[in-house]
Structure formats: C-alpha cells, structure tokens
C-alpha cells in the first residue's frame, strides 16, 4: 500500500467517524424535538402559542432531516466517484458546509429551548414542575453534546 493510498484510507476513516458522530448528534436532536413536541401537546398553552411552538418544531425537524440527508448525500456522492484528490476536496468542502448548517440548527434549537424555559418559569404558577424539570434535563443533555450555544 503506498503512502498516498494509506493517507486516503486514514482520511476516509476520520470522515466516517465524523459522519457517525454527526448522525448520533442529529438523532439526539431529533429525539429532543419529538419529546418537546409531546410536551407542547400536553402543556396547558393558549392555542396561538401552541401553534407557534408546533410550527417552530416542524421547521426544526425539517432542518434536521435535511442535515441527515445532506450528510448521507455527501458520502454517497463521494463513494460513487473515483477517489482522488478532487473527490477528497469535494467531500471536505461538503462536510464544512454541513457542519456550519448543523451549528446553526443546533444553536436555534438551544435558543428555542432556553426561550421556552424562560416562558415556563414566567408562567410557573400555571405550569407543573415536572415539565420544567424535563426542559432543564433536555437543556443539560443538549449542552453535554458540546454544541455551540447561542450568543445573547
């Protein structure tokens, strides 16, 4: 095996590990949005607020699906062509774009959760403590994923 083919093999292994990490993070965010949707459906909210939450969650779910598909698409395209320097560069560029999109999506979800938590705390007298505890746990889980936090 030549040095260049070994370097390509190492590059592919690193990118596949990156792909697996991102897919796991996307799956966690998808589970969070599903859980949050369930909470919104059970919470005592005014109908316009519930509709806004559900719309925002739908947008988040679509963005996560697009990220998942883009990540799969980048690797499918990479493996469908001959593996050369140009293919490696295209994969690297695609992954950089996906990473930026992921950071934006994750930041929006975190910001949304924080805003929801603030809303819940403001309405503390009318909401149950269990729902707030769930939101705090969700925030802790998302923060443990080393996602970029929204800047205020």
Residue 1 predicted with pLDDT over 50: no
Q: Is the pTM of this model over 0.95?
A: no
Of residues 93 and 149, the one with the higher pLDDT is 93
pLDDT in tens, 28-40: 888 888 888 887 7
User: How much is the pLDDT for 147?
Assistant: 56
Please give the share of the chain, as a percent, with pLDDT higher than 70.
76
Within 10 A of 126 (CB to CB), how many other CB atoms are there?
10
Q: How far apart are CA 52 and CA 107, in angstroms?
A: 18
State the pLDDT confidence band at 65, using cuts at 50, 70 and 90.
very high
Q: How far apart are alpha carbons 122 and 103 in whole angstroms?
A: 28
Alpha-carbon span 67 to 61, nearest angstrom = 10
- Under the banding of pLDDT at 50, 70 and 90, the label for residue 127 is low
HEC string for 61-115: HHHHHHHHHHHHHHHHHHHHCCCCHHHHHHHHHHHHHHHHHHHHHHHHHHHHHHH
pLDDT at 134 over 70: no
Rounded to whole angstroms, the Cα distance separating 139 from 55 reads 20
- The torsion defined by the Cα of 57, 113, 46 and 133, in degrees rounded to 10, comes to 120
Which of 91, 94, 66 shows the shortest CA–CA distance to 79? 91
Query: What mean pLDDT comes out for the span 82-106?
Result: 87
Q: What is the dihedral of CA 59, 62, 63, 66, to 10 degrees?
A: -160
């Amino acid at each position: 095996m030549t040095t260049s083919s070994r370097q390509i093999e190492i590059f592919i292994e690193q990118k596949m590990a990156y792909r697996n990490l991102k897919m796991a993070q996307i799956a966690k965010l998808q589970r969070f949005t599903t859980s949050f949707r369930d909470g919104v459906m059970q919470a005592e909210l005014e109908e316009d607020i519930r509709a806004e939450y559900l719309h925002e969650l739908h947008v988040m779910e679509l963005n996560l699906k697009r990220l998942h598909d883009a990540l799969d698409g980048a690797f499918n395209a990479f493996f469908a062509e001959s593996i050369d320097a140009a293919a490696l560069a295209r994969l690297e560029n695609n992954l950089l774009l996906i990473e930026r999109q992921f950071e934006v999506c994750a930041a929006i979800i975190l910001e949304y959760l924080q805003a929801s938590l603030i809303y819940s705390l403001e309405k503390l007298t009318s909401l149950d403590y269990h729902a707030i505890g769930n939101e705090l746990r969700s925030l802790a889980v998302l923060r443990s994923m080393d996602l970029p936090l929204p800047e205020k």
